[in-house]
Amino acid sequence: MKNDCVYCQMIADKEKEKIYEDEKVVVVLDDKPAGPGHLLVMPKQHYPIMEQVPDFIMSHAFTIANKMSIALFESLNAQGTNIVVNNGLAGGQESAHFMINVIARREGDGMNFQWVPRQLSEEEMSTIELQMKEQTKTIGEFQSEKAKPIEMETKVRRIPAGSEDRENYLVKRFIKIP
Amino acid sequence: MPEITEEQLKNMTPEQIAEMQKQNCIFCHIVSGKVASKKVYEDDKVTVILDINPANPGHSVIIPKEHYAIMPQIPEDILGHIFMVAKGISHACLKAFKAQGTNIFIANGVVAGQRAQHFMVHVIPRKENDGIKIFQIPHKDVSEDQLAKLSSILKAKVNQMMGIKEEVLDLDNIKKPEIKKEEEPTEAPEEGKEEPQEENKEEDVKTLLGGKEEPEEEKVPETEKEEEIDIDKIAELFK
Ligand SMILES: [Zn+2]
Ligand SMILES: [Zn+2]
């Protein structure tokens, strides 16, 4: 828990009304919502951005986000839902505690998440494709949760051949003993 | 695609209907390779391609290989996998384009902007001053009363869902927005069920909540510095 994080404080606050809570995540209503039915799904632990959230927390948090979306459909007559993450300041993130927005949508609610498509040439798209492919090579060995996790500072995950990136530094911090 | 009469449709098994949907789905064809695309990642469960109408260069979409029209249909292990991949794709965007942030975006339902009948997750690289404003989520002031009301409705629903897990994934219930539950053995949540009053809610959006903290104000202390890595820099921007 970060003492100066309002969301960490909220999570720890027994008085604060939680819509859902388990050992990994907490769901609260946004008290300045986009509209009626705006939920925030947050890991209990403080991670500023998504890249720092362990894989098994990611999968769990979004599984809960899906359930919250269903709850909005079923209990508040939502006609649609949006699930939005603002990751990083440039991504529009407003507080340093990673969270998932789950927002109920209704006809004529005045919200608009539709972007204006950029015109990119075939050549530009091909370049982008190659740049992305280069960086996605290391995706694939996901961190899973173990029953009794023990924090290890030094243990390093096996890195797929050909990737000497320093990106796996996070793993050093968060990896659990198999 | 041959014409199908309503009579034929009625006699089709769910498997046959699913097969028919797949044959008509461009994203299923992209997954199978019948339709060309720019694939940037693939594993046994998902295909990730560049969006042909990108919000920014590098805008990618994660497509489950199986055909799921809506998110609640997706089995939990696949759903979990999709978002572990989403994190990886986001990270790849940061590195490939020196992006300073990303957006994850999902539209469930036409009203929310869902265009295809195949579920997908958007990952959009972001840079400062890239001109994209639409992911800035609006904030409205609502009364404590209204929040309390929403809270009790949602909490009752969520408690019920988490208690009786099988009920939750009943697709027929999800598709129709009306809360028409046949008698359920659950007691408390159903009892105090209030009819959501959308009109009132929209008009109620006036009262300012006094004394609430502004999330914008908050600061993050220095995280442990390891190597200087873009992620840490991005995470530290909140200071
Ligand atoms: Zn926090
Ligand atoms: Zn499909």
pLDDT higher than threshold 80 for residue B197: no
Same domain (yes/no): A15, A100: yes
pLDDT higher than threshold 50 for residue B62: yes
Backbone angles phi, psi at A86, to 5 degrees: -100, 105
Q: Is residue B76 part of a domain?
A: yes
Q: Is residue A1 part of a domain?
A: no
Binned at pLDDT 50, 70 and 90, residue B40 comes out as very high
Same domain (yes/no): A96, A128: no
Q: Is residue B97 part of a domain?
A: yes
Q: What is the CATH number of the domain that holds B78?
A: 3.30.428.10
Under 8 Å between Cβ of B68 and B118 = yes
Average pLDDT, chain A: 86
Same domain (yes/no): A60, A137: no
Same domain (yes/no): B25, B74: yes
For residue A75, list chain B residues with Cβ-Cβ distance below 8 A.
153-154, 156-157, 179, 196
Residue B228 domain boundaries: 201-239
Same domain (yes/no): A12, A68: yes
Looking at the 3D structure of chain B, how many domains does it have? 3
Same domain (yes/no): A47, A128: no
Residue of B nearest to A17 (CA): B151
Break chain B down into helix, strand, coil percent, rounded to 5: 40, 10, 45
Q: Which residues are registered as beta bridge partners of A25?
A: A43
Q: What's the Cα-to-Cα distance from B38 to each of A3, B50, B216, rounded to whole Å?
A: 45, 6, 38
Q: Is residue A155 part of a domain?
A: yes
Q: What is the CATH number of the domain that holds A65?
A: 3.30.428.10
How far apart are the CA of A134 and the nearest CA of chain B, in angstroms?
A: 8
Under 8 Å between Cβ of B101 and A90 = yes
Torsion of CA A17, A21, A24, A29, to 10 degrees: -50
| A43 Ramachandran zone, left/alpha/beta (phi>0; psi -120 to 50) | beta
Name the residue type at position A5.
C
Report the pLDDT value the prediction gives residue A143, as an integer from 0 to 100.
Answer: 84
CA B53–ligand 1 middle distance (angstroms) = 35
Same domain (yes/no): B97, B159: no
For residue B209, list chain A residues with Cβ-Cβ distance below 8 A.
31-32
Asked if B238 lies within 8 A of A105 by C-beta distance, the reply is no
Q: What's the Cα-to-Cα distance from A51 to each of A6, A175, B93, rounded to whole Å?
A: 21, 14, 11
Structure tokens belonging to residue B115: 């265009």
Length of chain A: 178
Q: Is residue A144 part of a domain?
A: yes
Listed in order, strand segments (DSSP E) in chain A are 20-21, 25-29, 38-43, 80-87, 100-105
Q: Is residue B1 part of a domain?
A: no
Q: What protein residues have CB closer than 5 angstroms to ion ligand 2?
A: B 25, 27-28, 67, 118
Beta B121-126 vs B101-108: how paired, if at all?
A: antiparallel
Could you count the other beta carbons within 10 Å of the beta carbon of residue B50?
A: 20
Same domain (yes/no): A137, A58: no
Q: Is residue B181 part of a domain?
A: yes
Q: What's the Cα-to-Cα distance from A14 to each of A11, A17, A45, B206, B211, rounded to whole Å?
A: 8, 8, 16, 28, 19
Same domain (yes/no): B117, B159: no
Report the pLDDT value the prediction gives residue A140, as an integer from 0 to 100.
Answer: 86
Q: Is residue B217 part of a domain?
A: yes
Same domain (yes/no): A60, A92: yes
- pLDDT tens track for A148-177: 555 555 445 544 454 444 444 333 333 333
Report the pLDDT value the prediction gives residue B2, as an integer from 0 to 100.
Answer: 57
Same domain (yes/no): A80, A128: no
Backbone angles phi, psi at A126, to 5 degrees: -65, -40
Report the pLDDT value the prediction gives residue B81, as an integer from 0 to 100.
Answer: 97
pLDDT higher than threshold 50 for residue B144: yes
Same domain (yes/no): B45, B115: yes
Span B200-228, average pLDDT? 36
Same domain (yes/no): B118, B209: no
- pLDDT tens track for A19-75: 999 999 999 999 999 999 999 999 999 999 999 999 999 999 999 999 999 999 999
Same domain (yes/no): A68, A156: no
Q: Is residue A116 part of a domain?
A: no
Same domain (yes/no): B178, B217: no
Backbone angles phi, psi at B150, to 5 degrees: -60, -40
Looking at the 3D structure of chain A, how many domains does it have? 2
Span B92-107, average pLDDT? 96
Q: Does B166 touch chain A (CB under 8 A)?
A: no
Name the residue type at position A98.
F
Same domain (yes/no): B99, B180: no
How far apart are the CA of A80 and the nearest CA of chain B, in angstroms?
A: 5
Q: Does B107 touch chain A (CB under 8 A)?
A: yes
Residue of B nearest to A168 (CA): B229
Which stretches of chain B are DSSP H helices?
6-11, 14-23, 26-32, 76-97, 144-163, 165-168, 171-175, 188-191, 198-203, 230-236
Q: Does B35 touch chain A (CB under 8 A)?
A: no
Binned at pLDDT 50, 70 and 90, residue B210 comes out as very low
* DSSP assignment letter at B112: G
Under 8 Å between Cβ of A38 and A75 = no
Same domain (yes/no): B152, B105: no
Same domain (yes/no): B235, B193: no
Residue of B nearest to A7 (CA): B215
Binned at pLDDT 50, 70 and 90, residue B125 comes out as very high
From the list B11, B19, B65, B88, the residue with the least C-alpha distance to A50 is B88
Q: Which residues are registered as beta bridge partners of B49?
A: B39, B61
Nearest to A124 among B57, B79, B153 (CB): B57
Asked if B137 lies within 8 A of A103 by C-beta distance, the reply is yes
Which ligand neighbours the alpha carbon of B20 most closely? 2
Same domain (yes/no): A155, A81: no
Which stretches of A47-168 are DSSP H helices?
55-75, 122-136
Same domain (yes/no): B216, B195: no
For residue B213, list chain A residues with Cβ-Cβ distance below 8 A.
6
Under 8 Å between Cβ of A101 and A38 = yes
Residue of B nearest to A172 (CA): B226
Under 8 Å between Cβ of B62 and B48 = yes
Q: Is residue A148 part of a domain?
A: yes
CA B35–ligand 2 middle distance (angstroms) = 12
Asked if B238 lies within 8 A of A50 by C-beta distance, the reply is no
CA distance B22 to B13: 14
Global confidence as pTM: 0.76
Task: Look at residues A105, A140, A155 and tell me which one is the last residue of a structural domain.
Answer: A105
Average pLDDT, chain B: 79
CA A177–ligand 2 middle distance (angstroms) = 38
CA B19–ligand 2 middle distance (angstroms) = 10
Residue from B37, B44, B59, B102 to probe the interface with A (highest A Cβ count within 10 Å): B102
Residue A70 domain boundaries: 6-105
Report the pLDDT value the prediction gives residue A147, as an integer from 0 to 100.
Answer: 67
Same domain (yes/no): A142, A99: no
Report the pLDDT value the prediction gives residue B236, as an integer from 0 to 100.
Answer: 78
Torsion of CA A117, A119, A121, A122, to 10 degrees: 20
- Cα of first residue to Cα of last residue in chain B, in angstroms, is 57
Alpha carbons within 13 angstroms on the beta-carbon side of residue B71 total 30
Same domain (yes/no): B223, B180: no
Span B171-200, average pLDDT? 47
Residue of A nearest to B170 (CA): A70
From the list A70, A169, A4, A125, the residue with the least C-alpha distance to B162 is A70
Same domain (yes/no): A80, A40: yes
CA distance A40 to B159: 17
Q: Is residue A126 part of a domain?
A: yes
Q: Is residue B136 part of a domain?
A: no
Q: Is residue A141 part of a domain?
A: yes
Same domain (yes/no): B63, B97: yes
Asked if B198 lies within 8 A of A36 by C-beta distance, the reply is yes
Report the pLDDT value the prediction gives residue B154, as an integer from 0 to 100.
Answer: 96
